[in-house]
Chains A and B, each alone.
Chain A
């Protein structure tokens, strides 16, 4: 019954590799997000997708690319991984991107470690 799920939970990889993180929500929400949380717990939004349309992109390097095969999934692809990409990545979803009252529901996070 998990509302927002992510895989994998942990990802350890070498610099220069390409990796993907998957996210699925079963809440029927219209919008999904990716956040990056650094070692100091600071959360920064990376992307949001509404009905397969990118609506926010916060100065994220183009090595990062979100891909949404359908409304319930938003995967994050990262090319040429760098040490600074090490962080916890959270997926989230909300009912409607335009509503300020909408609650965002978060997945459990994926801890990415780049060696």
Chain B
């Protein structure tokens, strides 16, 4: 079935460090790919998405490129801030939404 695998956390970085959170997927159809972010005590918020191969989603300095050849959608940010501390979920959708297990990111000043 359709599924998402993302790197296990937790990930701890210093402020201004480079961030990569790996995400790979398995899908029978042509999925759209999403990154959601969950700040402490809050619901999930859409961070970015890409709906077809080679599309790049970007928002708030975060980027991810839909790579069909490697079935990946890795999340990157060039310089993280303390306020980026949250849990990040990779997800795909063909019909229903499938989420990865989440990666907790902590950014220290």
Let me know if B46 and A56 touch, CB within 8 A: no
Chain A contacts for B96, CB-based, 8 A: 45, 48, 56
Whether B30 lies near A100 (C-beta < 8 A) is yes
In Å, the complex CA distance between A102 and B42 comes to: 21
B89 neighbours in A (Cβ, 8 Å): 43
* Chain B hits for A106, CB < 8 A: 36, 43-45
Q: Does A109 count as interface, using CB distance less than 8 angstroms?
A: yes
Most buried by B among A4, A42, A100, A109: A100
* B97 pairs with A108, CB closer than 8 A: no
Contact at A41–B94, with CB atoms within 8 Å?
no
- Give the interface residue-count category, chain A: 20 to 34
Digitize A95-115: 1 where CB-to-B-CB distance is under 8 Å, 0 elsewhere. Answer: 001101111111111000000
CB distance from B23 to the nearest CB of A (A): 14
Q: How many A-B residue pairs have CB under 8 A?
A: 53
**Contact indicator per residue, chain B 9-38, by CB within 8 Å of chain A (1) or not (0):** 000000000000000000001111010101
Q: A: which residues have CB within 8 A of B?
A: 4, 33, 40-43, 45, 48, 56, 90, 92, 97-98, 100-109
Chain B residues with a Cβ under 8 A of chain A: 29-32, 34, 36, 38, 42-46, 49, 51, 87, 89, 93-97, 99, 101-102, 104
22 contacts between A and B (CB under 8 A): A4-B43, A40-B101, A41-B87, A41-B102, A42-B99, A42-B102, A43-B102, A45-B96, A56-B96, A92-B44, A100-B29, A100-B51, A101-B32, A101-B49, A102-B32, A102-B93, A104-B46, A105-B46, A106-B36, A106-B43, A108-B43, A109-B43
